[in-house]
Amino acid sequence: MKQLIRNLKIALVMLLIFSLALGAGLVYQQQQSQTTLLAVAGENKAALRQRYAQAGQILSRDGVVLASSENGERVYAEDLTLQRSLSQLVGDYTHHMSNTIETQYQSELLGNQRNVMEQFLLDVTGRGLQGSDIHLTIHALLNEFVYEQMKNRTGSAVLLNYKTGEILAMVSTPATTMANIVAYKDIPDTALFNRSLNGRYAPGSTFKIMTSAAWLSSGKFDPAYTLECNGDPVRANGARDRGHGTVNLDTAFTLSCNVFFGEATVKVGAKNFYDYLVNAGLGRLNSLDRLSVSPARYQNSAAADDRALLSWFGTGQPVGDLVLNITPLELALMSGAVANGGNLVEPHVVRYINNPLNQKREEAQTTVAGRMFSPQVATRLQQMMLEAVASGDSIQTNARIEGLDVGGKSGTVEIGTGSKQTINALWTGFLADPEHPYAVAVVVENASGTNTTAVAIGGQILKEAARYEGG
Query: Measured between alpha carbons, how far is 127 from 108 in angstroms, rounded to an integer?
Result: 14
Contacts of 254 (CB under 8 A, 6+ apart): 384, 387, 388, 391, 393, 394
Give, as ranges, the residues between 62 and 101 that touch Zn ion (CB under 5 A): none
Name the one range near Zn ion by CB under 5 A: 124-132, 177-185, 223-231, 419-427. 223-231
Instruction: Using the minimum distance from each CB to Zn ion, give the nearer residue, 143 or 254.
Output: 254
List 259, 308, 364, 465, residue binding Zn ion (CB under 5 A): 259
Distance CA(307)–CA(265), nearest Å, equals: 9
- Beta carbon of residue 459, minimum distance to Zn ion (angstroms, whole number): 24
Binding part of the chain for Zn ion, among 119-127, 144-152, 228-236, 451-459 by CB under 5 A, reads 228-236
> Which of 354, 451 has the CB closer to Zn ion?
451
- If one asks whether residue 464 binds Zn ion (CB under 5 A), the answer comes out as no
Residue closer to Zn ion, measured from CB, 264 or 280: 264
Nearer CB in complex with Zn ion: 257/322 = 257
Nearer Cβ to Zn ion (60/256): 256
- Cβ of residue 238: shortest distance to Zn ion, in angstroms? 12
Say if CB 450 and CB 423 are below 8 A apart. Answer: no
Q: Given the complex with Zn ion, which of 252 and 425 has the nearer CB atom? A: 252
Nearest-approach distance from CB 456 to Zn ion, in angstroms = 24
CB of 393 to Zn ion, least distance (A): 12
Instruction: In angstroms, give the least distance from the CB of 450 to Zn ion.
Output: 16
Q: How far is the CB of 249 from Zn ion (least distance, A)?
A: 13
Toward Zn ion, which CB reaches closer, 150 or 264?
264
Cβ-based nearer residue to Zn ion, 244 or 351: 244
- Residue range at the interface with Zn ion (CB under 5 A); choices 226-234, 320-328, 433-441, 445-453: 226-234
Residue 257 binds Zn ion, judged by CB under 5 A:
yes
What is the total count of residues that contact Zn ion (CB under 5 A)?
5
Three-state SS letters, the chain: CHHHHHHHHHHHHHHHHHHHHHHHHHHHHHHHHHHHHHHHCCCCHHHHHHHHHHCCCEECCCCCEEEEEECCEEEECCCHHHHHHCHHHHCCCCCCCCCCHHHHCHHHHHCCCCCHHHHHHHHHCCCCCCCCEEEECCCHHHHHHHHHHHCCCEEEEEEEECCCCEEEEEEEECCCCHHHHHHCCCCCCCCCCCHHHHCCECCHHHHHHHHHHHHHHCCCCCCCCCEEECCCCCCCCCCCCCCCEEECHHHHHHHCCHHHHHHHHHHHCHHHHHHHHHHHCCCCCCEECCEECCCCEEECHHHCCCHHHHHHHCCCCCCCCCEEEECHHHHHHHHHHHHCCCEEECCECEEEEECCCCCEECCCCCCEEEECCCHHHHHHHHHHHHHHHHCCCCCCHHHCECCECEEEEEEEEEECCHHHCEEEEEEEEEECCCCCCEEEEEEEEEECCCCCHHHHHHHHHHHHHCCCCCC
Q: Shortest distance, CB of residue 331 to Zn ion, whole angstroms? A: 23
Q: Nearest distance from residue 277's CB to Zn ion, in Å?
A: 23
Residue 418: exposed, middle, or buried by beta-carbon count in 10 A (0-12, 13-18, 19+)?
exposed
Q: Which of 172, 206 has the CB closer to Zn ion? A: 206
Contact residue for Zn ion among 134, 159, 227, 229 (CB under 5 A): 229
Smallest separation, CB 165 to Zn ion (Å): 36
Which stretch, 174-182, 188-196, 251-259, 282-290, contacts Zn ion (CB under 5 A)?
251-259
- 314/209 Cα distance (integer angstroms): 10
User: Which CB atom, from 241 or from 289, has the smaller least distance to Zn ion?
Assistant: 241
Task: Decide: is 240 part of the binding site for Zn ion (CB under 5 A).
Answer: no
Stretch that binds Zn ion, among 1-9, 88-96, 221-229, 430-438 (CB under 5 A): 221-229
* Minimum distance of Zn ion from residue 257's CB (angstroms): 3
Per CB under 5 A, which region of 37-45, 99-107, 257-265, 354-362 contacts Zn ion?
A: 257-265
Q: Which is nearer to Zn ion, 64 or 259 (CB)?
A: 259
Which position among 139, 195, 244, 436 is part of the footprint of Zn ion (CB under 5 A)?
A: 244
Among 241, 263, 433, 445, binds Zn ion (CB under 5 A): 241
CB of 229 to Zn ion, least distance (A): 3
Using CB under 5 A, which of the segments 47-55, 255-263, 316-324, 458-466 binds Zn ion?
255-263
Beta bridge partners of 440: 159, 429
Residue 163 Cα to chain centre, angstroms: 15
Q: Which is nearer to Zn ion, 76 or 313 (CB)?
A: 313
CB atoms within 10 A of CB 373: 27
Residues at the interface with Zn ion (CB under 5 A): 229, 241, 244, 257, 259
